[in-house]
Structure 1
Amino acid sequence: MIRRPMDKRTFLSHFHTVREGLLLTLAIVCVIAIGTFGYAALEGWSLFDSLYMTVITLSTVGFSETHVLSEPGRWFTIFLIFVGVGVVMVVLTSAANKILERELRWIWRGGHMRDKIQSTSEHTIFCGFGRLAQVAINDLHEARQDIVVIDQNEESIRDAEERGILGVIGDATQDSILIEAGIQRASRLVSLLPKDADNLYVILAARELNPNLFTITRAEYAAGEKRLKQAGANRIVSPYRVGGQKIADGLLRPHVMDFLELAASGTQGDLFIEEIFVPHASPLCGKTLQETDLRAQTDIIIAAIISPEGETHFNPTGSSKIIGGSTLIALGKKSDFHGIEMLILPESTS
């Protein structure tokens, strides 16, 4: 499982828990060692007999003495019972409190999480929290997108919530679980379950519960990809096909691959590809690219224009007209995009 580096607060919490556990364990070991060497010194017993006597004394099981105790040995046993049993009880009580505290916190967080999900809208639902989902979720979370994860594994949901991501424990193929995740208020759903049949059911249920939902799913086989498309999935990802294509492209066109990955990730800040939606009330509507003068004002390059119908026009000329509802595919430095909203959005919202 891919894990993000934990923050300072989480690290300190884990550190204190581990330290407390080590100290309690060390206390028990010390008591057993004191008892073992104490009996060996006072009674002259072997280390095994001394250890056995120490363990049955601390466990209070009531077995008979290993050998007849001398008076100093009996006084030592009294001391061991008061001190040793006290330490053992403290350790057991502390362990029980930790378990109870964790479960109570989990129950409280479950109710708190449901309340937060109920107040969340326009979020993205992820069905499944495997490796593929975690990579996508990490990027979306860094972009401050609201996310709700559905997974049957309780530990996976705990891990998601430690990252600040909302989670629901359950089977994503159940309508009630999708509703609990707020599917009727969500804007996107990503189904990354291992089986194509499960993903197909999730897409069908999602279409019924929220017809306007944008859906992405994975497909293991070509037949499953066809069925998922028929079910209404907007995007279908085949991990093996995509991975194979990337390997082939890396061998045949390595520089092109480096360029596209650099532009898509924008991690180095020198190059960035972004899509810019043009609302119908935008001041750019009805103007040509030359009239908008975007290149001079922002230093970005418009690589393509996607019409509201989904048609893509690559390398548009200066006479290409921008219409409302279209999407601009822009290329430039990340800093060049900072002022683009001022030019794209209507004056009342910019």
Structure 2
Amino acid sequence: MPPIIKPPRPGLANYLRDIWQRFNLSRFVGALALTGTGLAAGIGGFMYIEHFSFRDALYMTMITVSTVGYGELHPLSPEGRLFVSIYIFFNLLILAYLLSVLTTYIFDGGLRNMFAMLRNDQEIRSYDGHVIVCGFGRNGRKAYLELRASGAQVVVVELDEAVLQEDVADEAAQDKNISVVRGDATLDDTLRAAGVERARALITTLPKDADNVFVALTARELAPSITIVARASLKSSETKLLRAGADSVVMPDEIGGSHMANLIMRPEVIRFLDMISGLGPHRLRLEELRTEELRPELRGRSIRELDVRSRTGTTVIGLRHQSGEFTISPPADIVPVPGDVFLFLGTEEQIVKLLDLFRLV
């Protein structure tokens, strides 16, 4: 359809250019163009030198190129024999080149990778309410693993393909079904290709703070309601990221230093937090549940009446009220109202049982 009626999809040009560059399609197209030129030269040569009709010239060209030796339609003139001799020699070179290119694409996985990329793109276009992770370094990989473990759909945006193929001993490296957009996350087209308009959240963990600022600014402009979490290395970058549109800023170095100090001063507290974060030997899980997500028959009941502890083993450790205030260890007689959010703590099995019994399907 003409562009004036329906403009091409955002990022389509970058997407096609990415396919062209990654799979070296210029070599493949060049081989096809060279083959077509050879066929045209053969037809033209037979028509000009031997005065064959187009059909006869096409037939002679095809049996000459394929070397099947069916025989000549008409006896060739000396000039015609010279032309055929030269034509066969150069076409053997062209066919050898074409076969080498096809062999590379078929046996070296070029076609398979291309189709896999096309399937990956179609899968991303079907996502809605997913999470975008920009950067697949140490922080990006950890965020990806946590999100996938929680059942979220995740799209990774990474420019360096070597980072995606890095041989590291973690679960993300072994996951062959990672939905990836290869490109610069600071560009509008790249984020559109990742479905930023349909995503519910974006995490940017790029190495440079300036790049994270650009990602936050771009994502906020393209999707005003999206939740943005950004990584920062410098304290001075925190304010810039918040002004650019980030909802939360995480500084791994600062968190790491505080964590090490607390391991000295409050070791048992840190061990408990490690269990919650999944770093300890006995992993615990935090979960939230809105009152609107409760089964209809459970709404309007107090925490005592819900009897979460005895029914599932989980503990209600907090209640965020609609006003934004938190109540830690809420009283058993409190009755949550619409807009309140429960915070639960338990093992993986206990949380799964909680969701099965209490959450509206």
Q: Normalising by structure 1, what TM-score?
A: 0.66
| Structure 1 residues 190-210: Cα deviation after superposition (integer angstroms, max 9, x where no partner) | 101112221111112111211
Partners of 1:113 and 1:158 lie apart in 2 by: 16
SS at match of 1:297: helix
CA contact (8 A) 1:118 1:182 kept: yes
CA contact (8 A) 1:216 1:234 kept: yes
Structure 2 residue 297 is the aligned partner of structure 1 residue 299? no
CA contact (8 A) 2:291 2:336 kept: no
CA contact (8 A) 1:126 1:149 kept: yes
Match of 1:344 in 2: 358
Match of 1:113 in 2: 120
Partners of 2:319 and 2:357 lie apart in 1 by: 17
Matches of residues 1-350 of structure 1 in structure 2 within 5 Å? 97=104, 101-157=108-164, 163-265=176-278, 268-269=281-282, 272-280=284-292, 282=294, 283=296, 284-346=298-360, 349=361
* Residues 104, 343 of structure 1: alpha-carbon distance in 2 compared, 3 angstrom cutoff: closer
Partners of 2:155 and 2:313 lie apart in 1 by: 37
Q: Which amino acid aligns with 2:209?
A: D
- Structure 1 residue 249 displacement after superposition: 0.8
Q: Which amino acid aligns with 2:161?
A: E
SS at match of 1:319: coil
CA contact (8 A) 2:206 2:212 kept: yes
Partners of 1:143 and 1:203 lie apart in 2 by: 24
Partners of 1:259 and 1:218 lie apart in 2 by: 25
| Structure 1 residues 106-165: Cα deviation after superposition (integer angstroms, max 9, x where no partner) | 322222221111112221111111111112212323444221111111233456796310
Structure 1 residue ranges without an equivalent (≥5): 1-88
CA contact (8 A) 1:218 1:239 kept: yes
| Structure 1 residues 244-290: Cα deviation after superposition (integer angstroms, max 9, x where no partner) | 11111111111111111113318645x62322212426344433212
Count of aligned pairs between the two proteins: 256
SS at match of 2:286: strand
Q: Which amino acid aligns with 1:149?
A: V
Q: Which amino acid aligns with 2:359?
A: L
SS at match of 2:186: coil
SS at match of 2:292: coil
Partners of 2:344 and 2:245 lie apart in 1 by: 29
* Residues 100, 177 of structure 1: alpha-carbon distance in 2 compared, 3 angstrom cutoff: farther
- Structure 1 residue 225 displacement after superposition: 0.5
- Structure 1 residue 216 displacement after superposition: 0.9
Q: Normalising by structure 2, what TM-score?
A: 0.64
Match of 1:21 in 2: none
275-284 vs 303-312, which moves further: 275-284
* CA RMSD, Structure 1 to Structure 2 (Å): 2.8
| Structure 1 residues 192-246: Cα deviation after superposition (integer angstroms, max 9, x where no partner) | 1112221111112111211221211101112210121223322211011011111
* Residues 279, 239 of structure 1: alpha-carbon distance in 2 compared, 3 angstrom cutoff: same
Structure 2 residue ranges without an equivalent (≥5): 1-95, 167-172
